[in-house]
Structure 1
Amino acid sequence: MGFTSALVVEEIDGTFWAVREPLGYAGAAEQFEVPVGFRTDFASVPRPVVWLIPRYGVYTRAAILHDYLLRSELVSEVDADGLFRRALRECAVSLPRRWMMWAAVRFGSRLQGVSPAALAVFLVIAVFALAFLLIPTVVVTVFLLLFWVIEVIVWPLDRSARHPGTKPVPRPELRT
């Protein structure tokens, strides 16, 4: 069980990547293959928490598989999230990080189809994750906003100082 092939991707733009060789995964009962050309943003992590969980890492293949399973609707959201958690374990993601990532995708699915026992586990994990993440996330968000304000103030100055033959300076964007 686990991934049966290496991940080969090609950058499309600053956010998205395309799978360039099939990414195989053998589950307990089924096999899945992320096809060539599948478009991914790796792990969809809110910007204020990328300090803890970057958009890519040892869990990148699991994140791509999860995105593929959700978009292809080969399995239910609950099963896709469960396969994501198992793939994270098989990629040697630590237990706390694995469960936080699973709780985030379950929350993103609005907890549809969750049994009462799984809901209780989710709530325990969510409370601990929120307690751990709240202060750093607020601090990072405040400084991201501050940096965005600085960029907005400096942008007109930088734009007016353009030299011949250079590309225009991109407008600052606040991404969350």
Structure 2
Amino acid sequence: MGFTSSLVVEEIDGEFWKVREPLIYEGANETFEVPVDFRTDFASVPRPFVWLIPRYGVYTRAAILHDFLLRTERVGKADADGLFRRALRECDVSRPRRWMMWTAVRFGSRLEGISPAAFAVFMLVAVLSIVFLAIPTVVVTVFLVLFWFIELIAWVVDRGAPPERRTRVPRPQMRT
């Protein structure tokens, strides 16, 4: 069980990628094949959290499978989220990271089809995750906003300078 193929992708732009060879996942009862040209953004992680969970890593195949399952509706959201958690475990993602990622996708699925026991686990992991992430997330967000202001000020100053003093991007030198 688990992934039986390697991940081969091609960059489309700075955010999206497409699968170049089928990505095959063998579940307990069913095999799922992410087809060639399937478009993905890897793990959909809000920017303030990428310091902890980057958009790609050992869990990239699990994230692509999850995107595929949700987009094609081959299984329900709760089952797609459960398969995501199982695939994360099979990709050797650590337990705390795996449970935080599962909690995030369950929250994104609006907890559809969740049992009372799974809801209790969800709430426990969610509260612990919020406590763990709150301070670093606020700090990262403040500095992202600060950096945006610095970039904005630099842009305004650069645009206000006479044309000969503006920052110029060097042109490539082509050899013929």
TM over 0.5: yes
Distance (Å, rounded) in 1 between the aligned partners of 2:54 and 2:106 = 19
Distance (Å, rounded) in 2 between the aligned partners of 1:158 and 1:20 = 42
Q: Which has the higher contact order (CA 8 A, sep 6+)?
A: 1
Q: Per-residue deviation at 1:165?
A: 7.0
- Tell me the C-alpha RMSD between the 2 structures: 1.5
TM-superposition CA deviations, 1:54-81 (whole Å, max 9, x none): 0000000000000000000000000000
Distance (Å, rounded) in 2 between the aligned partners of 1:6 and 1:148 = 38
When normalised by structure 1's length, the TM-score is 0.91
Q: Where does residue 114 of structure 2 map in the other structure?
A: 114
TM-superposition CA deviations, 1:41-61 (whole Å, max 9, x none): 100001101110000000000
Distance (Å, rounded) in 2 between the aligned partners of 1:140 and 1:42 = 22
Q: How many residues are treated as equivalent by the alignment?
A: 167
Q: Where does residue 14 of structure 1 map in the other structure?
A: 14
Q: Per-residue deviation at 1:91?
A: 0.1
Q: Could you list the runs of 4 or more consecutive aligned residues of structure 1 that deviate by over 6 angstroms after TM superposition?
A: none
Distance (Å, rounded) in 2 between the aligned partners of 1:123 and 1:100 = 11
Q: State the AA in 2 paired with 1:48.
A: P
Q: Where does residue 34 of structure 2 map in the other structure?
A: 34
* Structure number with bigger Rg: 2
Q: Per-residue deviation at 1:8?
A: 0.2
Secondary structure in 2 matching 1:131:
helix
After superposition, residues 57-136 of structure 1 pair within 5 angstroms as: 57-136=57-136
Q: Where does residue 171 of structure 1 map in the other structure?
A: none
When normalised by structure 2's length, the TM-score is 0.91
Change in CA separation of 1:164 and 1:65 when aligned onto 2, cut-off 3 Å: closer
Q: State the AA in 2 paired with 1:127.
A: V
